[in-house]
Amino acid sequence: QKEVEQNSGPLSVPEGAIASLNCTYSDRGSQSFFWYRQYSGKSPELIMFIYSNGDKEDGRFTAQLNKASQYVSLLIRDSQPSDSATYLCAVNPFGAGGTSYGKLTFGQGTILTVHP
């Protein structure tokens, strides 16, 4: 079982729709969760982070975290063609010594295509 799992897609949604991206993780001790957007040939760009159970909204983006279910999601409202990219879920797990210094474990990414 991979530590962080995402559906690789591609996920195709029409312009203006809500895109829902999902991620599950295996390390129950994980405490911080990140969504990165990566355009083809570019580096990952941080778009959302969430540390507490529940929802966190930032503009058209909402991150949702459920630690009991070990599940984190990203909703993109009013999707635009410019949102077409790979979305990477990343998790900060605790190290073996019980300390966390921010090493991120990434999923393989979900390819999102927003069509006009």
Partner 1 sequence: GAGVSQSPRYKVAKRGQDVALRCDPISGHVSLFWYQQALGQGPEFLTYFQNEAQLDKSGLPSDRFFAERPEGSVSTLKIQRTQQEDSAVYLCASSSLTQGYEQYFGPGTRLTVT
Check if the beta carbon of residue 113 is closer than 8 Å to that of residue 80.
Answer: no
**Residue closer to partner 1 (CB basis): 79 or 107:** 107
Catalog residues that contact partner 1 under the rule CB under 8 A.
4, 32, 34, 36, 42-46, 49, 51, 88, 90, 92, 95, 100-109
Residue 40, CA atoms < 13 Å, CB-side half-sphere: 5
Q: What is the dihedral of CA 50, 54, 58, 34, to 10 degrees?
A: 20
**Residue closer to partner 1 (CB basis): 10 or 59:** 10
**Residue closer to partner 1 (CB basis): 10 or 16:** 10
**Residue closer to partner 1 (CB basis): 76 or 91:** 91
Shortest Å distance, C-beta 51 to partner 1: 8
Shortest Å distance, C-beta 82 to partner 1: 19
Name the nearest CA neighbour of 36 among 69, 70, 72: 72
CA dist., res. 16 & res. 7, Å (int): 22
CA dist., res. 72 & res. 54, Å (int): 10
Shortest Å distance, C-beta 113 to partner 1: 16
Shortest Å distance, C-beta 20 to partner 1: 19
